[in-house]
Amino acid sequence: MSQQTIKIAKKVISTEINGLKTLLKKIDKNFVKSINLLKSNKGKIILTGVGKSGIIAKKVAATLSSTGSPSQFIHSTDASHGDLGMINKNDIVIAFTFSGKTMELNDIFIYLKEMNIPLIIITAKSNKKLKKISSVCLEVSNLKEACPLNLAPTTSTTVMLALGDAIAITLMTNKRFTKKNFYSYHPGGQLGKKLLLVKNIMHFGNKLPLIKSNIPMTKALIEMTKKRFGCLGVISKTKRLVGIITDGDLRRHMKNGILEKNTSYIMTKNPKTVTEDISGIEALKIMEKNKITQVFVTKNNKPIGILHIHDCIELD
């Protein structure tokens, strides 16, 4: 029984992989045309569909919105009962229909034609009518469903989802969408934590362990113990960061009459720093690469914050 179960599961996955291979061969000039239409769009991207195709359309709308292309899902049936008013002349519509004969889409198609709103149709079974009413028709035919009855949408929905993702990521890449942009759309949850910027997690203000150059180490040690970061940033008269004193520096100078020295003598010059607009994960990688446990955040060479490695580890 267990072997038979595994066999069925592998057959489903294999069938859907073959469907994706078929899709790969269909990425052509029509796909490029659809991307160009979407890039030039000045309004929203409206996605619609019915049944399983509608579920795929809703997911693709979410992916587009989170990757820099404002989108909205409208159920085809609801469109016929007032939701057509959500579509304006600056929008563009992507309709998902596996059969190409979904009656619930007719009202939307007629409305788009009257308003001269661009329409991209994604279907597994194109026909003359769809090609005539659409600006672009992306057809993925000759798909075998993973369902043994060849009835339940399985391979077809996988292929539609992959094609939607291809559209979203192509637009994202063309728009040069960055991690910083991505964070602004995903401030919550574990994903948001991974994309937190240094400025969101750094310590600043009175918490900064700073001391001027040429200050006796007797005073420096008191300040270092007080701030509890295991280091001191040494600043010049113009408040620029000129050095850092760490636990390691203290150990190296322990036998050299350290209490009789000043901060300029003990400090390590030109310490590693980061800027406030990189992610906490990037700052962590910098600390790990340089084998340090804290790093100052600077702006125009002036310290504005500090990060300890523990601030970043929980983000990874």
Whole-angstrom CA distances from 268 to 123, 139, 194, 280, 297 are 65, 64, 31, 24, 16
Predicted local distance difference test score (pLDDT) of residue 316: 60
Tell me, what's the pLDDT at 20? Answer: 96
pLDDT of 315 reads 67
Determine if the pTM surpasses 0.85.
no
Give me the pLDDT at residue 80, please: 80
Q: How many CB atoms lie within 10 A of CB 102?
A: 21
Q: What pLDDT score does 66 carry?
A: 87
Q: Are residues 204 and 127 in the same domain?
A: no
Contact 274, 286 (CB under 8 A): yes
In a domain, 245, yes or no: yes
- Residue 244: which CATH number? 3.10.580.10
- Token digits for 137? 């028709």
Q: 203 and 173, same structural domain? A: no
Q: Which structural domain, as residue segments, surrounds residue 120?
A: 2-177
Nearest to 31 by CA among 210, 162, 206: 162
| Pair (128, 248) in one structural domain | no
Determine, yes or no, domain membership for 191.
Answer: no
One domain for residues 18 and 142: yes
* Distance, CA of 93 to CA of 20 (rounded, Å): 24
**Are 118 and 208 members of one domain?**
no
Q: Is there a single domain that holds both residue 149 and residue 225?
A: no
User: 61 Cβ partners below 8 Å, 6+ apart?
Assistant: 45, 47, 71, 72, 73
pLDDT at position 73: 95
Beta bridge partners of 297: 274, 305
Q: What is the pLDDT along the chain (316 residues), one digit of tens a residue?
A: 689 999 999 999 999 999 999 999 999 999 999 999 999 999 999 999 999 999 999 999 999 998 889 999 999 888 888 888 889 999 999 999 887 777 888 889 989 999 999 999 999 877 788 888 899 999 988 889 999 998 889 999 999 999 999 999 999 999 888 776 776 666 665 566 666 789 988 999 998 999 999 899 999 999 999 988 989 999 999 999 999 999 888 988 887 788 888 999 999 999 999 999 888 888 999 999 999 999 999 999 999 999 998 888 766 6
Which amino acid is present at 233?
G
H-type alpha helices, 41-80: 51-66, 76-79
In the chain, the number of structural domains is: 2
Residue 186 lies in a domain: no
Q: Does residue 165 share a domain with residue 66?
A: yes
In a domain, 291, yes or no: yes
Contact 134, 96 (CB under 8 A): no
CA distance 225 to 236: 21
Q: Of 177, 208, 228, which one is at a domain's C-terminal end?
A: 177
Q: Are residues 80 and 220 in the same domain?
A: no
Question: What's 149's domain CATH number?
Answer: 3.40.50.10490
Listed in sequence order, the residues at least 6 apart from 218 whose beta carbon sits closer than 8 Å to its beta carbon are 259
Q: What is the pLDDT of residue 280?
A: 87
Instruction: Classify residue 114: in a domain, yes or no.
Output: yes
The alpha carbon of residue 204 and the mean position of all alpha carbons in its chain are separated, in whole angstroms, by: 27
Asked if the structure places residue 207 within a domain, the reply is yes
